[in-house]
Structure 1
Amino acid sequence: MSNSSVKPPYNIRGVPLYGFSSLSEFTDFLLPPQHPRCGMLVAINAEKILTAEQNPQVQQILSAAEFNYADGISIVRSIRKKYPGSKVTRIAGVDLWYALMQSAGQKCIPVFLVGGQAEVLQYTGDKLRQQWAVPVAGTQDGYFTEQQTEGVIRAIADSGAKIVTVAMGSPRQELFIRRCREIYPDALYMGVGGTYDVFSGRVKRAPLIWQKMGLEWLYRLIKQPSRWRRQLRLLRYQKYHWLGKL
């Protein structure tokens, strides 16, 4: 499906962004009845905006990605401030992946899973098949070498997968997706970070009440105090927000 006529409606600090009023609305947009949209999904939060401003490679990735979406509550609040009346809700990458996988099972859309540890990936693939009847076309753990990359990309292309999710951390996963798309553009690609660990139960997500309040970042900080430097860095983004430099 061509995306040329579909333009992201929002822009924060030079990054084009999609925003939707619900998770289901975004899922339906990405997986219309005829064919899944093709392109790269990138979850955008305040940290990624700041990283892009200091790293030209990341800035290039975000500028080229077809489907940047508001994953962080700070980004949602900035959209609402810059675009009064916009009905944008936070869509967490984990929740979006769950929704896409459920839809893939319902619509028989083949999926390829990349990244993570071998045992986690195996469990994730098996659970997807059992829980939602997802047609998993192939898997590849994240421990392949540069010399093996071309073969991994060829396996993805040969599988015929229409959704490819990559869990290798940012920006490595986005860089891999960019290379993969050069050879196999006919798929929807999504960087998913630690989502397989959450799905497999190895990592516990914040309680639902924390999620609804937009405080998952605080829950992670409490669980991992070493993240405080990352959170302190985000004060610069808050300055952008309050001064209206969006």
Structure 2
Amino acid sequence: MSCHRISVLKTVIDPFPISALNQYIGEAIASHKQRIIAHHNLHSVYLYHRDAKMRMFYERADIIHIDGMPLVYWARLLGYPVSRDQRVTYVDWIQPLLAMATAEGWRVFYLGGKPGVAARAAEIVCRQYPTLTIATHHGYFPPEENDTVLATIAAFQPHILLVGMGMPRQEHWVLDNLDKLTANAILTAGACFDYIAGAIPTPPRWMGRLGLEWLYRLISEPRRLGKRYLIEPWALLPLMIADVRSVLLRKGRS
């Protein structure tokens, strides 16, 4: 499977659609290899340029898919042939992923969310996929319980580990514990089980397709997300200018 990695905002992304991501996970499981699947949106790009540990995590990641229509629009403006279906958010991906896990008999472990939330989400998905093998653990555990959480994950022997602790904690946790994780596919999944459990309102999918999902989330959680959506993007302006200059230089040489 091939993918043309592209560079935007001084980082890299792999414009994979859902079908290709599922195929990639299947290949990792079949070959008994371990792969880290990360994602980028404007928030993660902001953190990437301010957090050395985030940069280390992305250097270790095997795939960095697009999670955010602004990156799709920006890549298009820079001349990259990126399509709408190459924007993959977990709200859209989790159902096809769990359906494939059920069909293939893959074990799935979700780590994240407040106590009880992930378990409630697992009950919901098990009603949809009765033969799915899934286990969960909340993400609100103190450092002294980390080894116990790792032992719980190891005992379950998941093929897929979804870590949903929010950025940058989930990326830091994966990086810190990578040598103790045996899952074939490790995915940083944000709040995807919070949406399934109904703990966070799910944006209408038409808003996601138009790139307006951020507005719905901002209205739903203004205090928590105000800085992310209203202030952080302005800090990316120098990177955007650098991208435009790079494109103009390439065109000038051609």
Which whole-Å CA distance do the structure 1 matches of 2:33 and 2:211 have between them? 28
Q: What is aligned with 2:21? A: 26
Instruction: Output the aligned Cα RMSD.
Output: 2.5
Which whole-Å CA distance do the structure 2 matches of 1:154 and 1:192 have between them? 21
8 Å contact 1:38–1:188 — kept in the other structure? yes
Instruction: Look up the equivalent residue of 1:27 and give its one-letter code.
Output: N
Q: Aligned with 1:234: secondary structure?
A: helix
8 Å contact 1:13–1:245 — kept in the other structure? no
Which whole-Å CA distance do the structure 2 matches of 1:107 and 1:80 have between them? 35
8 Å contact 1:42–1:62 — kept in the other structure? yes
Name stretches of at least 5 consecutive residues in structure 2 with no aligned partner: 247-254
1:163 CA displacement: 0.3
8 Å contact 2:126–2:132 — kept in the other structure? yes
1:217 CA displacement: 0.6
Shift in alpha-carbon separation, 1:225–1:159, aligned structure 2, 3 A: closer
Q: What is aligned with 1:117? A: 114
Shift in alpha-carbon separation, 1:191–1:85, aligned structure 2, 3 A: closer
8 Å contact 1:40–1:177 — kept in the other structure? no
Q: Is structure 2 residue 32 aligned with structure 1 residue 42?
A: no
TM-score norm. by structure 1 comes to 0.85
Query: Aligned residues, how many?
Result: 240
Q: What is aligned with 2:99? A: 102
Shift in alpha-carbon separation, 1:208–1:37, aligned structure 2, 3 A: farther
Q: Is structure 2 residue 52 aligned with structure 1 residue 53?
A: no
Which whole-Å CA distance do the structure 1 matches of 2:179 and 2:94 have between them? 23
Shift in alpha-carbon separation, 1:112–1:228, aligned structure 2, 3 A: closer
Shift in alpha-carbon separation, 1:245–1:34, aligned structure 2, 3 A: farther
Q: Aligned with 1:178: secondary structure?
A: helix
Deviates further, 219-228 or 115-124: 219-228
Identity within the alignment, % = 20
1:155 CA displacement: 2.1
Which whole-Å CA distance do the structure 1 matches of 2:145 and 2:2 have between them? 35
Which of 192, 196, 206 in structure 2 is aligned with 1:195?
192
1:110 CA displacement: 0.5
Which whole-Å CA distance do the structure 1 matches of 2:190 and 2:44 have between them? 13
Instruction: Look up the equivalent residue of 1:96 and give its one-letter code.
Output: W
Q: What is aligned with 1:131? A: 128
Which of 227, 236, 240 in structure 2 is aligned with 1:229?
227
Deviates further, 98-107 or 226-235: 226-235
Shift in alpha-carbon separation, 1:36–1:126, aligned structure 2, 3 A: farther
8 Å contact 1:114–1:139 — kept in the other structure? yes
Which whole-Å CA distance do the structure 2 matches of 1:218 and 1:209 have between them? 12
Q: Aligned with 2:236: secondary structure?
A: helix
Which whole-Å CA distance do the structure 2 matches of 1:83 and 1:30 have between them? 29
Which whole-Å CA distance do the structure 2 matches of 1:172 and 1:8 have between them? 29
Q: Aligned with 1:54: secondary structure?
A: coil
Name stretches of at least 5 consecutive residues in structure 1 with no aligned partner: none
Shift in alpha-carbon separation, 1:36–1:73, aligned structure 2, 3 A: farther
Which whole-Å CA distance do the structure 1 matches of 2:55 and 2:11 have between them? 8
